[in-house]
Structure 1
Amino acid sequence: MIEHLVPAAVRSHVAYGDELDNAPLYPEETEAVLRAVPKRRAEYAAGRACARAALAALGHPPGPIPRGSDAGAPVWPAGVVGSITHTDGYRAAVVARSADILTLGIDAEPHAPLPDNVIEIILATPEEEAALTGLTRLHPGIHWDRLLFSAKETVYKAWYPFHHRMLAFKEAELLFTRGPQAPGDTAPAHGTYTARLLIPGPLLTAETGPEVFTGRWIVRDGYLATAIVVPNE
C-alpha cells in the first residue's frame, strides 16, 4: 500500500505477516529492544529489515539504523530521510535522498475503529470531529477516526526532524478529501489530506517551511496507510 502513496524519488519496502520478524539486527540496534516484549522486538527487526531493503534500492550498503537519543526516531545515513511503520501483519519503510525530499512520514494501521473515547479525549479538534461525523455519514465503509489517527502520526513524523519536540495531536488540524469513485462505489478507497499546523511560527524554516502539509491515504485489504512527502524545492 505505501508504495502507492509516494513519488518515484522515494524507495519503499513492505513485509506482510511475520516474514521478516526474525531478521538479524546490528548490535547498535539490539540495544534498543533488549528489554522489549517479543512482539515489539519482532516489529522492530522487521522494520529495520524493510528499511535496509529500501536503502539498498537507493544504492546504500547495509548497515545499522539505530534509534536516536531523543524520542527514539531512526537515525538515517547522511543525506537520507526516511520513515518506518509497523502494525499487526504489516511492516514498511520508505527512504529518499535529502537532496530530493525534504522530509516524509508514513503510517499504517488496521482498518478498524479506534477504541472508545480516543477521538474526544486526545485526538480531534472540534472542527475535525464535525468533519468526521459528516464523512462517516457519507462513507460509512471508511473508519475515518482511525484514518485521522494515522494521518496525524505522519504529520508528527515529518515535522519532528526539524523541531525535536513532541507535537500534540491537537496542534495540527486535518482535512480529508476523497479520491474519484467508480459508478455505484459508495466507499472511497483513497484520497488526500491537508494538515494545518496550529502552533506559531513556520513549520520548517522561514524560507522553505510550508504551514500546511499535504498527504495521501489508501484503504486496502483490511489496512489503511497514510503518507506525507515534502519535496526539497
Structure 2
Amino acid sequence: MISSLLPDWVATCEAYHDASEDALFPAERDIITRAVQKRRSEFTTVRVCARAALAQLGIAPAPILPGLRGAPGWPDGVIGSMTHCDGYRAAAVALGSSGAGIGIDAEPHGPLPDGVIRLVARPEEYERLDALATGHPGVHWDRLLFSMKESVYKAWFPLTGRWLDFQEASITMRPEYGTFSAELLVPGPTVGGSEITAFQGRFVVSDGLVLSAITVGAGMG
C-alpha cells in the first residue's frame, strides 16, 4: 500500500505480521533488551522491512541503529523512513543520488485521542478539518492531519538536524487527488541551492489505516 504513494525511485517493503527477533543483528537486539514486547515487535519487523527494501537497491544487510532523536541510521548514500502502528509496519528507502528526503507515516484509521488535536492543529487547520468533515464524512481527518505532520517531520529532520513542532507547518489536503501540501512556517532546508518552503505529499485511507508520504527530489528546492 505504501508503494502507491511513492515514486518509482523509492524502494519499499511493508508487513502485516511480525517477524522473529532472530532476524536482528546483535547490536540491534541490545537496544531492545529491556523493552516491552510491543516495542520489540515493532522495532524488529520494521527493520526486517527496511533490509528487504535496501536489498532492492542492491545493499547488503547491516544493522539499522537509532541515531539522533531516534532517526534510523541508514547506510552511507541512502535516505529513508520507517513507520509502524498496530498491525502494520513499513519502510521506504532510496539512493541519495535519486532523492534528498523521504517521510512516511501510518496510523490506525480512527479519531485521535482526546486532547491531541489541540497539540497538532493550527487555527486555519481547524477550519479545513471542519470543511473536510462536512464534504467528506466517514474519514477521520484529524488522524490524517497527525499522520501528515509526522511525515513532514521525518522528511524534515534528516535535512536539517533540527526539531520541527506540529505548529510550525500548515497542512492543506486535497482529498479529490489524494495529495497534500505542508507549508513550512520556519526557515526550511536548502536543497540544490534553494530553500524548501513547502513539502508535497500523498495519502491514502484503506484497510483500517491512514498512510501519508512525502518525497523530496534530488536537487529540488
Is the 8 Å Cα contact of residues 100 and 191 (structure 2) preserved in structure 1? Answer: no
Task: State whether structure 2 residue 100 is matched by structure 1 residue 102.
Answer: yes
Which residue of 1 is the match for residue 114 of structure 2?
A: 116
Most deviating of 24-33 and 49-58: 24-33
Q: Alpha-carbon deviation of 1:34?
A: 1.9
1:86-132 deviation per Cα after TM superposition (whole angstroms, max 9, x unaligned): 00100000000010011010000111010122112x11000001100
Is the 8 Å Cα contact of residues 11 and 92 (structure 2) preserved in structure 1? Answer: yes
TM-score by length of 2: 0.95
Q: Alpha-carbon deviation of 1:202?
A: 3.3
5+ residue gaps, structure 2: none
Q: Alpha-carbon deviation of 1:37?
A: 0.7
- Of 183, 193, 212 in structure 2, the residue corresponding to residue 196 of structure 1 is 183
SS of aligned partner of 1:71 = helix
Task: State whether structure 2 residue 75 is matched by structure 1 residue 77.
Answer: yes
Task: State whether structure 2 residue 17 is matched by structure 1 residue 17.
Answer: yes
- Of 138, 141, 147 in structure 2, the residue corresponding to residue 144 of structure 1 is 141
Which residue of 1 is the match for residue 123 of structure 2?
A: 126
Distance 1:63 1:136, change over 3 A: same
Q: Alpha-carbon deviation of 1:205?
A: 4.7
Is the 8 Å Cα contact of residues 197 and 203 (structure 1) preserved in structure 2? Answer: no
Q: Alpha-carbon deviation of 1:194?
A: 0.3
In structure 2, C-alpha distance between the alignment counterparts of 1:224 and 1:113, rounded to whole Å: 11
Task: State whether structure 2 residue 196 is matched by structure 1 residue 216.
Answer: no
TM-score by length of 1: 0.90
What is the CA RMSD across the aligned residues, in angstroms?
Answer: 1.3
Which residue of 2 is the match for residue 6 of structure 1?
A: 6
In structure 1, C-alpha distance between the alignment counterparts of 2:192 and 2:82, rounded to whole Å: 28
Q: Alpha-carbon deviation of 1:224?
A: 0.9
In structure 1, C-alpha distance between the alignment counterparts of 2:121 and 2:34, rounded to whole Å: 33
Distance 1:139 1:204, change over 3 A: same
Most deviating of 146-155 and 165-174: 165-174
Is the 8 Å Cα contact of residues 216 and 226 (structure 1) preserved in structure 2? Answer: yes
Tell me which amino acid in the other structure corresponds to 1:98: G
Q: Alpha-carbon deviation of 1:207?
A: 1.4
1:134-172 deviation per Cα after TM superposition (whole angstroms, max 9, x unaligned): 100111111100000000000000000122222110011
5+ residue gaps, structure 1: 181-190
In structure 1, C-alpha distance between the alignment counterparts of 2:168 and 2:143, rounded to whole Å: 18
